[in-house]
Amino acid sequence: MSTMTEAEAKALFAEIDKDGSGEIRLSELRDYGMANGGTIGGLKLAEFVRAADADGDRRITLTEFKSHFA
């Protein structure tokens, strides 16, 4: 799936990762979704987590995020 450039994906990641920890937790996703119509890059939150969380630890790292979007 290739919907944005790597730079765009990185910028979106930084926007969602509010505490700058380098990984997106579900609470951060929810906060972001609340402000953006419940979607991330056009996917519903649950769909996004299922699609992007490659190792299933319920956290999205920048690597997982980029390999999903860019």
Name the site residues for Ca ion (rule: CB under 5 A).
Answer: 17, 19, 21, 53, 55, 57, 59
Give the residue closest to Ca ion by C-beta: 21
**Radius of gyration, alpha carbons of the chain:** 11
For Ca ion, give the closer residue by CB, 21 or 39. 21
Smallest gap from Cβ 49 to Ca ion, in A, equals: 9
Q: At what angle do helices 26-35 and 45-52 cross, to 10 degrees?
A: 140
Smallest gap from Cβ 24 to Ca ion, in A, equals: 6
| CA atoms of 55 and 24, how far apart (whole Å) | 13
For Ca ion, give the closer residue by CB, 47 or 55. 55
Residue where the block lists tokens 């119509």? 37
